[in-house]
Structure 1
Amino acid sequence: MRFSLFMYCTVGRRAELEAGMAGRKPDLYQRMLGEIAEYARFADDAGYFGFGHPEHHLQIEGFEISNDPRLMSMWLGQHSKKLRVITCGFVSTTHNPLRVAEDIATMDHMLGGRFGVGLVRGYQARWVENFKIRDELNAVGPWNKDQPADIANREYFGEFVDIVVKALSNETFSHHGKHWTFPPAGMVNPHEHPVYVKYGQGVTAAMKIEQIGIAPRPLQTPHPPLYGGFAASMRTALFWAKYGGKPIVLTDNLKFYDHLCRAYTEEASRHGRTVKDGQQAGWGGIFICAPTDAQAQEWARDMMWFWQSWATPFGQGVPELLVGSPDTIARRLDQVRQVLPDQDEVILLIPQGLHDRGQILTSLELMATKVMPKFA
């Protein structure tokens, strides 16, 4: 097992969040950046595999102030040398897919081939509706599941992912879909430019733009590993099997997770992909490790308050709780290994921001020294 951390980019402790408008307070944001940098350095040295974060905007309350996914990824990369930096991820309805592909390739180089990237549909309506690039697209969640808005979003997302993967994987390409056409139909460069023809591809001598390509190509081949952010459905898992993406599934239902992985393998084979057992998805949950079970449960109170206050209204159920002493967490991971003997990546959702530096570093150190060696 390899262990990756995931944070929401919470700007303050519970009392600071309860005071209101925490996301607007520069001192809290500065402290958050310093703490994240310290956690990244520690995790890097301690042998953790990756460190991930989401994309969310307009977060004046401060519960999930992750903002631009590029900037936070570079902050994590600046303070680590080995960790896989996982943006999870670019919200499709608010980005141009060609620009996203270019950003991914560029970040992969700047991070020295340590980049992993998620592409997601968008569920927080307040910011998605303000940032979206198509008027007809909407955020999705339990309130519109399987309704026209959800169907349209899912259709758009499929085309978005297809374009990103094409751009990352090919020297040049064209795309003609429902939502995007690259290059625009009948595009002709308004002035002659011999470099396009002499040293490039996709442009005719008559300056007709027939194909385009991004530069640079990614450092990793064919592109950085793809993740599907916090998937909870079989349909999402099967979608990612086509592209070799790894959905992140935070669940305590190991039977469902095992079934999901088996279905993923079958679907991947239909697309000509061979997937090793344990590589289909990332499994995990909320993570708090303390010297004793009682202390871990006490520490978990603020995280559960956060979950009930923030995640539950979005329709998110409580995930797996990896909460306890090193022995307790090791026993649970051993149970997981009995059901999922080849599980590769375990995602640990940490209460960054809610807990102080000492609590977070204690959790990370206990995990790294007393638990992880048993599952190496």
Structure 2
Amino acid sequence: RTVLENPAPDTPWQMPTTLNWGQGAVEWEPLKEIGIAPKPFQKPYPDVYAPFTFSATTARFWAREGGTPVVLSDNVEFCQSLFQAYRQEAVGAGRDLRPGQGVAMGATLCIADTEEQAQELRDQFDWLFNAWFVPFGFPPRLVLQGTSESVIQQIRELDQSLNFEELFLWIPTGLYEHSVMMRQIELFATKVMPNFPD
């Protein structure tokens, strides 16, 4: 295995978002640190999930390693190609998987009582995404947006195309008021989840 040093030596840093609100970065100086979480206490270690999977290379790596890539793209055909690359590589590594097994879909959730409220949440998310992710070259990500009925339909259509077994949802904590966060969780738990018992 190749172990990469993070941050890479002598990495000059100039991303305004990190300079304004992050730590370990000084304009035009090497990046000094990247925060990490400690190793899990649990043994054996819990399953590994790799968010922000945007390439077949990454999907194939996790297929060999037995990890679960979380695909966040809004392009269904691209997602299908990653799912296929993962499965082919897993089979080559001795893992017999069903289509869609071992790969998770990921999406941002902007759910509200009305479509207009959901659009307001989306507008706020778009600001966050454009400030923190676009500068790193992240492609557009999947957003499930609307009322509970709209989100149910979007999940069904996505599952018909990709046949995924796991769905990871991101509600940007700290971006919305606490009551808005709680309402999104409530709507998803009480109105959306009962439609997907598996």
1:308 aligns with 2:112: no
Q: Aligned letter for 1:69?
A: A
Structure 1 letter corresponding to 2:193: M
Residue 370 of structure 1: CA displacement?
0.4
Q: Which residue of 1 aligns with 2:47?
A: 225
The residue aligned with 2:158 is 336
2:190 to 369, 372, 375: 369
Q: Give the drift of 1:264.
A: 1.4
Q: Select which of 341, 348, 357 maps to 2:178.
A: 357
Q: TM-score, normalised by structure 1?
A: 0.43
Q: Does 1:58 align with 2:29?
A: no
Equivalent residue number for residue 253 of structure 1:
75
Question: TM-score, length-normalised on structure 2?
Answer: 0.79
Alignment partners' CA distance in 2, 1:269 and 1:346: 23
CA contact (8 A) 1:250 1:320 kept: yes
Out of 45, 57, 66, which is 1:235 matched to? Answer: 57
Find the counterpart in structure 2 of residue 275 from structure 1: 97
- Kept after mapping to 2: 8 A contact 1:289/1:367: yes
Find the counterpart in structure 2 of residue 166 from structure 1.
Answer: none
Moved >4 Å (runs of 4+): 20-23
Fraction of identical pairs, as percent: 34
- What is the match of residue 37 of structure 2? 69
Choose the corresponding residue for 1:346, options 167, 181, 196. 167
Matches within 5 A, 1:38-187: 58=24, 67-70=35-38, 103-104=39-40, 107-108=41-42
Structure 1 vs Structure 2 CA RMSD: 2.2
What SS class does the counterpart of residue 248 from structure 1 fall into? strand
Query: Amino acid of the residue matched to residue 122 of structure 2?
Result: A
- Give secondary structure in 2 for the equivalent of 1:237: helix
Q: Which residue in the other structure is 2:29 paired with?
A: none
1:293 shift after superposition = 0.9
Alignment match, 1:90: none
Q: Structure 2 matches for 1:283-298, cutoff 5 A? A: 283-298=105-120
Q: Is the 8 A contact 1:289 1:326 kept in 2?
A: yes
Aligned mates of 1:282, 1:58 — CA distance in 2: 32
- Give 1:340 shift: 2.4
How many angstroms does 1:59 deviate by? 7.4
Q: In 1, Cα distance between the equivalents of 2:136 and 2:149?
A: 33
The yes-or-no answer on 1:299 pairing with 2:121 is: yes
Unaligned regions of 5+ residues in structure 2, if any? 1-16, 27-33
Q: Give the CA deviation at 1:350.
A: 1.1
1:51-95: per-residue Cα shift (whole Å, max 9, x none)? xxxxxx5379xxxxx94423xxxxxxxxxxxxxxxxxxxxxxxxx
* Cα deviation 1:334-370 (Å, max 9, x = unaligned): 10121123x1111112121010110111001100110
Distance 1:242 1:301, change over 3 A: same
Deviation (angstroms), 1:277? 3.0
User: Within 1, Cα distance between the matches of 2:113 and 2:37?
Assistant: 34
Q: Name the amino acid aligned to 2:168.
A: I
**Tell me, which stretches of 5 or more residues in structure 1 are unaligned?**
1-17, 24-56, 61-65, 71-102, 109-217
Aligned position for 1:150: none
Give the distance between the partners of 1:358 and 1:69, measured in 2 at CA. Answer: 28
Shift of 1:227: 1.9
Partners of 2:162 and 2:53 in 1: CA distance: 18
User: Could you tell me which amino acid in structure 2 is paired with residue 367 of structure 1?
Assistant: F
> How far apart are the structure 1 equivalents of 2:24 and 2:152?
38
Alignment partner of 2:143 out of 321, 329, 332: 321
